[in-house]
Amino acid sequence: ILKTLNSWFWWENIWMPINCTWADFVDREGLVFPKPHQLYATIPYAFVLLIIRFFSERYVAIPLAKALGIKNVRRVKPQPNPVLESYFRECSRQPSQSEIKGLAKKCNCTVHLVEKWFRRRRNLEIPTVLRKFQEAFWRFSFYLTSSIVGFIFLYDKPWFYDIWQTWVGYPFQTLLPSQYWYYMAEIGFYWSLVFTLGIDIKRKADFMAHVVHHLAAIGLMSGSWCGNYVRLGTLVMFVHDTADFWLEAAKMFNYARWEKTCNILFIIFSIAFFITRMILFPFWILRATLYQPTYYSTTPVIAYFLFNGMLLTLQGLHLYWGYLIFKILKRFVFLK
């Protein structure tokens, strides 16, 4: 069964143009191609990034937070109580007055102590400002670094200025070392975000949107790697990262209560977001993936529909986040 599924998954008609086979993607003089098995390396790279994250949050983010005036608030832990802990996890975090009285009798203590225990236990679930700052700092560091490195990798490439160049010579386009490391770092980063979903701060407004985004990003990058859509893939990654570090910077100054700086950074982020996600992505990237391939092949392969489906999913998320950003800007302008 596994062999059959594997042969179906790697069927040439899914991934590459007509009259091309996987045998054509063997490295030869002057040509190096991306190989699917190389994606296994993104998992250990993800753990390397997690190690870097641990040290950067501990030894860079914390001193920086202190310099900006953010204090590490230590919350008082409630006394260990298996009965109350079990009720907190399985039943309710905010029990009614009658439930509190019942728990007080069960634990042989006063109602006041039970109320105090639940209040302290709920406070432990709320992430501290320092914890939020550390997480924002890590994302800011990665997005800023990837934006700078991405620009260095792309600025001298012809397809950075002429999107038609992404299809010239396809699918026999050689893989550059810079493209390899750009992909490995980006996929490894999103794997690391997936691995830490359970411990990172959960935001009710768009938690599921983030889950969908991370998985769609990994699927899209991995698929584009296998199909050698690397030139377009690097452009997609660059367009996404260049706005995100402004948001994380705004968050950091928001946590430090530097209100004017936060507002300026958020306005810059909003402008960058609408330029990259609402203009460049749909009218530059999607145009190159939906429209331009028809000039090079009259019979689009299955991957054409799969990749464009995921790109359109990302654009749907852009519209959702754009709506949230617009709501914040509206409040900022009209309600001060």
Q: Which of 187, 92, 200, 189 is nearest to 136 (CA)?
A: 200
Q: Is 31 helix (H, G, I), strand (E, B) or coil?
A: strand
CA distance 281 to 72: 40
* pLDDT at site 336: 67
Element (H, E) at 166: none
* pLDDT at site 206: 64
Q: Which CATH class is domain 82-125?
A: mainly alpha
In this structure, what token pair is assigned to residue 88? 């907190």
* pLDDT at site 205: 61
In this structure, what token pair is assigned to residue 15? 């991934």
* pLDDT at site 79: 80
**pLDDT of 43-95, one tens digit each?**
999 999 999 999 999 999 999 999 998 887 777 778 888 888 888 777 877 88
Outline which parts of the chain fall under CATH 1.10.10.60. Answer: 82-125
Residue pair 26/32 in contact (Cβ under 8 Å)? The answer is: no
- Under-50 pLDDT residues of the chain: none
Give CB contacts under 8 A, 24+ apart, made by 33-36.
33/174, 33/175, 33/228, 34/175, 34/180, 34/183, 34/225, 34/226, 34/228, 34/230, 36/10, 36/225, 36/226
CA distance 238 to 276: 9
